[in-house]
Amino acid sequence: MANITLKGNEIHTIGELPAKGTQAPDFKLTATDLSDKTLADFKGSKLVLNIFPSLDTPTCAASVRRFNQLATGMANTKVLAISKDLPFAHSRFCTSEGIENVVNLSGFKCSGSFGKDYGLEIIDGPLAGLYSRAVVVIDENGQVIYTQQVPEIVDEPDYDDVLKVLS
């Protein structure tokens, strides 16, 4: 269980992020066209999983915008923006913001398996049931090469740290 904070108040996740050097857990999430996407759909590419509670918060929206900018310079890398927001909300947000370089995925119908398997579902406090703010980087072979559990949920991820791992 990870101890994180929401505006200084302690909250917890269901577990820990996958360990560096382990095989990334498979997932089944929903794309904006309502198709199912799994880890295997991205085989052969590096993946940056930008995971957050909701696009309807300023910090989450900022992280999607920033990773959208960064994605243009990342060779053989796909950025997946993952939350429990409905696919329609992901689509609307990206259309209104001109975001074209990230793959938006929703965990709204995955029965909690993604949040549990990746150890990032929040289990208490006002955001219980949503995902914590985290970044997981997976290499072309499906191995976890980096994780970042953002300790204060209203803070943005450390983008520079993510870029170092990808270079």
pLDDT at position 5: 83
- Angle at which helices 58-71 and 159-166 pack, to 10 degrees? 30
Instruction: Of 108, 109, 91, give the one whose Cα is nearest residue 100.
Output: 91
3-class SS at 161?
A: helix
Determine what percent of the chain is predicted with pLDDT higher than 70: 96
Residue 60 annotated as catalytic: yes
pLDDT at position 55: 79
CA distance 97 to 20: 33
Single-letter amino acid, residue 79:
V
Q: What is the dihedral of CA 120, 50, 88, 109, to 10 degrees?
A: -30
For position 129, which CATH number holds?
A: 3.40.30.10
* 59-92: pLDDT as tens digits: 767 777 787 677 777 788 899 999 998 989 888 8
CA distance 72 to 74: 6
CA distance 57 to 146: 25
Beta bridge partners of 23: 143
Range of the structural domain that residue 107 is part of: 3-166
**How many domains would you assign to the chain?**
1
pLDDT at position 111: 66
pTM of the model: 0.92
| 112 — pLDDT class (breaks 50, 70, 90) | low
Determine what percent of the chain is predicted with pLDDT higher than 90: 61
- pLDDT, mean over the chain: 89
* 136-146: pLDDT as tens digits: 999 999 999 99
| 56 — pLDDT class (breaks 50, 70, 90) | confident
Instruction: Of 155, 153, 154, give the one whose Cα is nearest residue 4.
Output: 153
Active-site option among 60, 81, 120, 130: 60
